[in-house]
Amino acid sequence: MTATQALQGWLELEHESVWLFPVIGAQFEQLAERARRSHDAHLRTRDHLLSRLQVLDIEPVPAKLSYAVGSLRTPEQAIRLARRLEQAVAAACLTFAGETSDQDDQKYAVKLLRRAAEAELTWGGRPRAFPGLPSQP
Amino acid sequence: MISRRALLGTGAATTVAAAALGGAALTHRLDDIARSVGIKPHPEPDPSDSRLLARVAADQNSLLAMVEATAGAHPALSLDRYVSISTSHATAVGVAGSVPDVASPSTDPTTAVSALSSAYAKAARTRAGDAVEAVSPALVRVLASMSAGLFQCADAIKGVR
């Protein structure tokens, strides 16, 4: 995998996050505030990644109209989906951190990995030794 | 999860005094780290990674000693998960051959937990900086991930009663 592919993979997940969290907030009032904070954070990250790709003169992967996230009928399902998405974002940040040779990009990825790991907790996750790495319980 | 004391008992522990890890030893260590967390090893260790790894190992072993001491002093607190995570971190970078000296934890559980949270947060910030300093992509990823896990611990442990 190249750094560009890793960056695009991360952007795909940010697109999905920007789509998912308003859906969660709209469907479950008790999750609305949490979803709004998550959406705001992912919106900032998505815009940063889009800017970065623009600077690199790389066509960014586009957002989809909607995402097949599975059943979203209960708050518990919504929380689980949100947590899994944050885990996937953490993995994408980590992949990019290991692939890029640009130190500023690496610092940004490490910073956003922390955000994703902490967000995982706000969506019902428990601390793990190595968030974002494969084979972690 | 095998505890550090159990590891020491088996003689399988590596010593942090291998701070002077040579090239071949460092290659093995980085390979072990990469494999232990599911990353394909990258067989080109950099000398600066050797020094970094030794410092990280010393730090993480001190933190583990602090967590174990607090868990021992306050058995009513549910710190098993934190002992397990800190053991995983120390195991990944090299388990100390002897238990590092740490200050006795506070007899007040709330103060003791607060001290652990601060220690986790400090280690998390340091590991984030270490990740950017590392040369090996495997070490970058392990340290960045370790930092994120430490930040999770710093947050979550505040809820331990």
**The pLDDT of residue B115:** 97
Which residues in chain B have Cβ-Cβ distances shorter than 8 Å to A93? 144
- Residue A136 pLDDT grade (very low, low, confident, very high; cuts 50, 70, 90): low
Q: Which residues of B touch A128 (CB under 8 A)?
A: 85, 149, 152
Return all residues near A46 (Cβ < 8 A) that are at least 6 apart.
A11, A14, A15, A17, A18
What ipTM, to 2 d.p.? 0.92
Task: Please give the pLDDT value at position B13.
Answer: 37
Amino acid, single-letter form, for residue B25: A
Q: Could you tell me the two tokens for B131?
A: 């990740």
B21, B50 Cβ separation under 8 angstroms: yes
Contacts of A90 in chain B (CB under 8 A): 148
- Smallest Cβ–Cβ distance between B140 and the set A98, A111, A135 belongs to A98
Residue in chain A closest to B138 (alpha carbons) equals A98
Q: Tokens for B119, please give them.
A: 């220690």
Nearest partner of B138 among B60, B32, B41, B51, judged by Cα: B41
Task: Report the pLDDT value the prediction gives residue A130, as an integer from 0 to 100.
Answer: 96
Q: Model-level pTM?
A: 0.86
Shortest CA gap B89–chain A (Å): 7
Residues of B (80-139) whose Cβ lies below 8 Å from A: 81-82, 84-85, 88-89, 92, 124, 128, 131-132, 137-138
Alpha-carbon distance B51 to B127, whole Å?
14
Residue ranges of chain B whose pLDDT lies below 50: 1-23
CB-based contact B85 A127, cutoff 8 Å: yes
Predicted pLDDT at A129:
96
Pick from B125, B143, B152 the residue to mutate for testing the A interface (most A CBs within 10 Å). B152
From B36, which residue of chain A is nearest by alpha-carbon distance? A135
Q: Cα distance from A65 to chain B (closest Cα, Å)?
A: 32
The label of the residue with tokens 């159990």 reads: B6
d(CA A22, CA A35): 7
What residue of B is the nearest CA neighbor of A109? B144
Task: Quote the minimal CA–CA distance from A129 to chain B in Å.
Answer: 5
Convert the pLDDT of each residue in A93-119 to its tens digit: 999 999 999 999 999 999 999 999 999
**Per-residue model confidence as pLDDT tens digits over A40-86:** 999 999 999 999 999 999 999 999 999 988 889 999 999 999 999 99
* Residue from the list B38, B92, B153 with its beta carbon closest to the beta carbon of A134: B38
